[in-house]
Amino acid sequence: MSVLIVGSVALDYLETPFGKMEQALGGSATFCSISASYLTENVRAVGIVGGDFPQKHVDYLTSRNIDLKGLVRIEDGKTFSWGGRYHEDMNTRDTLYTELGVFEDFHPVIPDDWKQSEFVLLGNIHPSLQIEVLDQIEEPKLVVCDTMNLWIDISLKELKAVIKRVNVLILNDEEARMLTKHNNLIEAGKKMLRMGPSVVVIKKGEHGAVLMSKDNYFAIPAYPLEELKDPTGAGDTFAGGFIGWLDRTGDVSVANMRKAVVYGSVLASHCVEEFSIEGIRDLSEEQIAERFNTFRTMSTF
Amino acid sequence: MSVLIVGSVALDYLETPFGKMEQALGGSATFCSISASYLTENVRAVGIVGGDFPQKHVDYLTSRNIDLKGLVRIEDGKTFSWGGRYHEDMNTRDTLYTELGVFEDFHPVIPDDWKQSEFVLLGNIHPSLQIEVLDQIEEPKLVVCDTMNLWIDISLKELKAVIKRVNVLILNDEEARMLTKHNNLIEAGKKMLRMGPSVVVIKKGEHGAVLMSKDNYFAIPAYPLEELKDPTGAGDTFAGGFIGWLDRTGDVSVANMRKAVVYGSVLASHCVEEFSIEGIRDLSEEQIAERFNTFRTMSTF
């Protein structure tokens, strides 16, 4: 199988109660791709960077078997950069700045031989760019869309057009409430299912995750972490793990998606333990299997 | 086996976005006892009411096999009454009034032949009253303590003295954070385990529940409810279901406590669906078994 991932690639500035990091490798495509690469081999990334994007990052991503043929490099441009500060509780954050750089004029171009990718992950970018991707791909087996509160705020119409055309919508609880104007997540989930996708996955951070389809309700708690250093990219990492497992198995049944939710949660739990991508930079199969098994044992009664 | 439950019995005034209810049967001992009565037969309630307490409530509780020998009735006094208003999200509430009535001079007296009850649930009342109960009971198999934010605020020293002497502490996530001054619930749990109990259960409302011991971590999501009418008594109902299952089985292993957490969650999910005790007034074994099974299937992957 093969999974096509489109999203942002960034050099971020991060500030959390645990410290700061400048020029931190980030972006939705970055986290999604790295995460997926632990579960499947054929990961294809589409994005854009500037001339300032360090070669070491390219080398690292390539070392993880991520195909970067779709990563455009604009030598005289600057890589997208987001600066954020997390509050004490880590659940809220302030955006310090957003420098679009080369991202300002980005229009994803899917290489011809990638247009028939079986699995497509529309990482968190402007919905109009997600639509451009949808218009280029040919009969994918499954399309997953991730998004964020910003697009619900400023591009709701385009976002709804995307949601209509995807199989799985992934978002967090706050976004689900914003999008549907329902406080109750079950109601919110049902409403989103009426908007197009056959499956909705709601990420609840420290409270776990929920998967809903017409006839299915699946919920798991979060992996118990004592220390959380940097939540940046956790949602992208979740989405990457989710689609990575589906691509590895080629099985898009809801039963298999339950496992995909667990893999997404496992990868995300590693992600938040360190700054930037450090928590998922170099995981072993054993580390992933161990947490997967913990998810089983911790919910058994 | 037998379970001794001490707590408040109240006639409440409730206001939620779904309506109002006056003279609503309430109180921690009430919810705990009714809930436990679905799982075990020998439920013994200790509390106090005034002359205004309707006979129909006594009849109902008795019909559920709850032994009310420990329920004192002060004919010329008024039953404890709490008035509360819930906000739109149901997670926050304002106390409109608290009329202690006969509760003001309440000192729980455990009937002699109840002093050797195997299981004891210290329902949510002032910690100094919980201590009075602890001083009267003789070698119980297990003591469970429930509490609330008010006591952490105004009677921390007494509360800590209670916690030191119980086997299981039950509280909600906000209270766990208040009590330990740790924002992270895993850290909070560990700190509470160092305060005395061998098991801590953290209720997280719509996010489920967590059980922690030195070597055990168990977490379940909440039962998916589309409509929640009145959260009053949900925590007490949880505690009653928890100890009811332990009493029924006589098994205080942590493995069995996992099942007890699920039974507590099942009963609490019924409780919040209607005002006052209506959601748990008359449940069938099938209704309880069905939700118990849903807890299993919804977390399976």
CA gyration radius, chain B: 18
Residues in B whose CB is inside 8 Å of some CB of A read 88-89, 183-187, 190, 204, 206-208, 210, 217-222, 224-228, 258-259, 261-262, 295-296, 298-301
What strand order describes the sheet that includes A209-213? Answer: A66-74, A43-50, A3-6, A119-122, A142-146, A168-172, A199-203, A209-213, A216-220
Strands A199-203 and A168-172: parallel
pLDDT exceeds cutoff 80 at B33: yes
Q: Which among A242, A280, A231 has a CA at the least distance from the CA of A264?
A: A242
Q: What is the mean pLDDT of residues B153-178?
A: 97
d(CA A8, CA B147): 48
Cβ contact B186–A301 (<8 Å): no
What chain B residue is nearest to A187 in terms of C-alpha separation? B226
pLDDT (0 to 100) of residue B257: 98
Helix (H, G, I), strand (E, B) or coil at B2: coil
d(CA A5, CA B59): 65
Pick from A217, A226, A301: CB nearest B184: A226
> What is the residue range of A274's domain?
3-298
What chain A residue is nearest to B185 in terms of C-alpha separation? A226
DSSP state of B223: P
CA distance A218 to chain B (A): 5
**pLDDT tens-place string over residues A172-224:** 999 999 999 999 999 999 999 999 999 999 999 999 999 999 999 999 999 99
pLDDT (0 to 100) of residue A90: 82
Q: Count of alpha carbons within 13 Å of A23, Cβ hemisphere only? A: 7
d(CA A240, CA A28): 9
Domains in chain A, number = 1
pTM: 0.95
pLDDT exceeds cutoff 90 at B92: no
pLDDT exceeds cutoff 80 at B91: no
pLDDT (0 to 100) of residue A129: 97
All residues of chain B having their beta carbon less than 8 Å from the beta carbon of residue A228 are 184
Backbone angles phi, psi at B149, to 5 degrees: -55, -35
Pick from B187, B217, B226: CB nearest A298: B217
d(CA B254, CA B249): 13
pLDDT (0 to 100) of residue B89: 78
Give one DSSP letter per residue of A221-286, joined into a string. Answer: PPP--S-----TTHHHHHHHHHHHHHHHHT---HHHHHHHHHHHHHHHHHHTTSSTTGGGSS--HH
All residues of chain A having their beta carbon less than 8 Å from the beta carbon of residue B299 are 218-220, 299
pLDDT (0 to 100) of residue B281: 98
All residues of chain A having their beta carbon less than 8 Å from the beta carbon of residue B204 are 207
Cβ contact B298–A219 (<8 Å): yes
CA distance A295 to chain B (A): 9
- A·B CB contacts under 8 A: 81
d(CA B197, CA B167): 5
Q: Are A271 and B191 in contact (CB under 8 A)?
A: no
CA distance A245 to chain B (A): 13
User: How would residue B263 be classed by pLDDT, with cut points 50, 70 and 90?
Assistant: very high
What does the angle CA A247 – CA A251 – CA A254 come to, to the nearest 5 degrees?
Answer: 115
Tokens describing residue A167 = 């199989």
Cβ contact B299–A219 (<8 Å): yes
**pLDDT tens-place string over residues B4-28:** 999 999 999 999 999 999 999 999 9
In chain B, alpha helices (H): 28-37, 55-63, 127-136, 149-154, 156-164, 173-180, 185-193, 234-249, 254-271, 285-298
d(CA B193, CA B190): 5
| Backbone dihedral region for residue B275 (phi beyond 0: left; psi -120 to 50: alpha; all else: beta) | beta
All residues of chain A having their beta carbon less than 8 Å from the beta carbon of residue B213 are none
**pLDDT tens-place string over residues A90-134:** 878 899 999 999 999 999 999 999 999 999 999 999 999 999 999
Which residue's entry shows tokens 């070669």?
Answer: A55
Cβ contact A218–B301 (<8 Å): yes
CA distance B256 to chain A (A): 8
Tokens describing residue A120 = 């497509």
d(CA B55, CA B276): 17
Q: ipTM above 0.95?
A: no
CA distance B271 to chain A (A): 17
CATH code of residue A26: 3.40.1190.20
Q: What is the mean pLDDT of residues B18-39?
A: 97
All residues of chain A having their beta carbon less than 8 Å from the beta carbon of residue B269 are none
In B78-213, alpha helices (H): 127-136, 149-154, 156-164, 173-180, 185-193
Cβ contact A224–B186 (<8 Å): yes
Tokens describing residue B42 = 């020998």
Q: What is the mean pLDDT of residues B273-286?
A: 98
Which residue's entry shows tokens 């976002």?
Answer: A159
CA distance A165 to chain B (A): 27
